[in-house]
Amino acid sequence: MSGTAWGLELHAAQCANCRSEFLVAPNAGAPLCPGCLAARLEPIPALEHTEPPELILPFSVADATLDANLERWRRDIPFKPASLELAALRKQLMPVYVPMYLADASVWGTWDAQMGYDYLVASSEERYSNGQWVSQRINETRTRWEPRAGEISRQYENIPAPAFENHAALMAALGDSNVFPYDTSRAVPYSGEVLKNALVRASEIENAAAWNIARLELERRAANDCRAAAGAQRQEKFSWRAAFGEPHWTLMLLPTYVTSYSDDDNNRLPVRINGQTGHVSGLKRASMKKAQSWSLGLGAVALLAFLLTVLIALGLILTRQALNAAGILLVATLLLTLAAPVPMIVAWQYNRVNVSAKGTML
Ligand SMILES: [Zn+2]
């Protein structure tokens, strides 16, 4: 693909496994698909949507923060697979930009809603304390609900909307709360120099489909504006009859890192990092194989202790010290036998609980 519009040479590529499409720098070779990590990206003639973005949010998380966050993320995993070392995660780190739309649109129409006005009710409570009655003032917040209606006419800017299918799942993984995980106000005009050698996830959602989602966010913002204009603290049952101007679209790239580690069956498990905040997310897996060798090791020591006990009992049964030693060894055998399956139980239980973050996200 000619890369003039993007400011640098980029090739179209697709994953044979999950079919996700990317733009790849020519010197990148055939990178592992950052979406599923199950296949390498293969060249394809062209992408369906080839327009370059207007804005790009540069990678800005410091190396030290990245290391600290990765270390904190992996720390609580018991019986870590060998590839879950910090150095290995660092070596696999792949910068990937994902696309997102921002819509600007004007809206006009009428609305009605139930608006809630908070007010304080002061009362006093009598309490018997230390032999006397004490009066205590109590302030309680109540809400008065009133119907309100009005007109709205205004312009909304930078309404986020998805440009690829797994946008919502990825955004939820890259932050802690329901708040959008990036500060998009720090975006800069797109240039090939900011993009450098990062992979770019191709946009695949048409503006018309993205508009359906942007409109929900626009309605949420409009409802909030109407509540503020009515001077209310709460609102319910917002409904409106609105017309929208033709939305203006901006395509923007968001920075993410993908790294990975292998589980016992050699599946690569993705670890995703927000390239702005350093927030880490991924499926945490303990190695059953590692736990198993610990269990076998404990079992072997238990067997050794038992054999020593038997040897002492058979050969040196007459001395008092030997009998004492045999007694201690027998207790040790019992404890080791009980402890032997613990590593496997811990690893199995850990993997059973940590299953939520699975799935392809790019
Ligand atoms: Zn893939």
Which residue, among 256, 271, 255, 278, has the nearest Cα to 68 in the 3D structure?
278
20 and 61 part of one domain = yes
State the distance from the centre of ligand 1 to the C-alpha of 270, rounded, in angstroms: 11
State the distance from the centre of ligand 1 to the C-alpha of 340, rounded, in angstroms: 40
Q: What is the pLDDT of residues 332-361, one digit of tens each?
A: 888 988 988 999 898 888 888 877 555 567
- For 8, 24, 54, the CA distances from 188, given in Å and listed in that order, are 17, 21, 9
Q: What is the pLDDT of residues 41-92, one digit of tens each?
A: 999 998 877 788 999 999 999 999 999 999 999 998 989 898 899 999 999 8
State the distance from the centre of ligand 1 to the C-alpha of 185, rounded, in angstroms: 31
State the distance from the centre of ligand 1 to the C-alpha of 262, rounded, in angstroms: 16
**How far is residue 259's CA from residue 277's CA, in Å, rounded to a whole number?**
16
3-state secondary structure of 132: strand
Between residues 357 and 34, which one has the greater pLDDT?
34
31 and 161 part of one domain = yes
Which residue, among 39, 21, 38, has the nearest Cα to 30 in the 3D structure?
39
State the distance from the centre of ligand 1 to the C-alpha of 20, rounded, in angstroms: 6
- Residue 275 counted as domain residue: yes
Kindly give, in sequence order, each residue whose CB lies less than 8 Å from that of residue 275, ignoring residues fewer than 6 positions away: 57, 59, 60, 61, 95, 254, 255, 256, 257
- Residue 235 counted as domain residue: no
| 0.75 exceeded by pTM | yes
Quote the pLDDT of residue 113.
Answer: 92
Kindly give, in sequence order, each residue whose CB lies less than 8 Å from that of residue 89, ignoring residues fewer than 6 positions away: 70, 74, 259, 260, 261, 271
**How far is residue 45's CA from residue 13's CA, in Å, rounded to a whole number?**
8
State the distance from the centre of ligand 1 to the C-alpha of 254, rounded, in angstroms: 19
HSE (CB half, 13 Å, CA atoms) of 55? 17
127 and 184 part of one domain = no
Domain count, the chain: 3
- Residue 209 counted as domain residue: no
State the distance from the centre of ligand 1 to the C-alpha of 164, rounded, in angstroms: 14
49 and 187 part of one domain = yes
Structural domain boundaries, residue 325: 289-353
Kindly give, in sequence order, each residue whose CB lies less than 8 Å from that of residue 208, ignoring residues fewer than 6 positions away: none
